Amino acid sequence: MSALVRNLVTGGAGFLGSHLVDRLMQGGEEVICLDNYFTGRKSNVMNWISNPRFELIRHDVTEPIQLEVDRIWHLACPASPLSYQYNPIKTSKTSFLGTYNMLGLARRVKARFLMASTSEIYGNPEVHPQPESYKGCVNTIGVRSCYDEGKRIAETLCFDYYRMHELDIRVARIFNTYGPRMVENDGRVVSNFVVQALKNKPLTLYGNGNQTRSFCYVDDLVEGLIRLMNSNCLGPINLGNPMEFTIRELAELVRKKINPNLDITTHQLPQDDPVQRQPVIDLAKKELNWEPKISLENGLTKTIKYFQETIKL
């Protein structure tokens, strides 16, 4: 009988991390969930607390930790603009020191290491849609650069550990992801619109609403991460939904599903907000046999149901 695979998920109590924890636990594996609860919530993983294959540790990845694991899924870092701009220096430290510490742990215990990078490394792209070969257009001194540049140096660290120490790495560039367990006030557009609509408030649109995004439902994204970890592809590899929507189209869809009579108000576009964001996923299709299955229409229905059950109206 082979030993159980022991997984470390940093940021495991967060939105994306907790869904990954669910999949790993449902697969019969062992999971150590590491989180400092800055944006993660213990309630996201409470259903596993009494399971002997699950361990929850409150820890900040900017500090080293000694553990024995087979695989490290490094997701720890605030990902919404409101969260990562709240303490930008801390965000930069999390991306650099947190990744450095987890890579060091992976090297010591010879664990396979997957890093959750981001489409934000492409900045406000001058190439559309964005393939992995595109180097990006990032403002190094803007209000978003703590996250954008933080993830870029994290990718650099991963590949330097691969070249210097032959570390077994995987790098995923994650595009906009949504679904249950999003934090209602974290400033992401899907949760913003859904919560505003459920509270019968006008939907706030920034700019003219013609900027585009591609929205991937969380179950699809987790499937992509698992396939990447189990593959021989180092990355970086785009994981996201290639279907492109304007923010205004998203607002109209949410309004239609919840309350067609809601107003839509416009506000000034935030600094360095990308005009277009759409992944090229040819590499994921080829190397992982992966592409999203859940439509925005169906994913929004599931997300709306979650918020109806959890927020105070």
Give the amino acid at 196.
Q
Helix (H) or strand (E) holding 116: strand 112-118
How far apart (Å, rounded) are the C-alpha atoms in residues 141 and 253? 35
Q: Nearest 5°: CA angle at 178, between 88 and 268?
A: 55
Determine which one of 147, 161, 178, 217 is catalytic. 147
How far apart (Å, rounded) are the C-alpha atoms in residues 34 and 43? 14
Q: Using CB atoms within 10 A of its CB, is residue 107 exposed (0-12), middle (13-18) or buried (19+)?
A: middle
Query: Is 147 designated active site?
Result: yes
CA distances from 1 to 32, 51, 70, 189, 230 (A): 22, 21, 17, 47, 20
How far apart (Å, rounded) are the C-alpha atoms in residues 297 and 215? 11
Sign of CA dihedral 152, 157, 159, 163: positive
Q: Which residues pair with 238 in a beta bridge?
A: 173
* DSSP, residue by residue, 227-258: HHHTSS----EEES----EEHHHHHHHHHHHH
Active site residues: 147
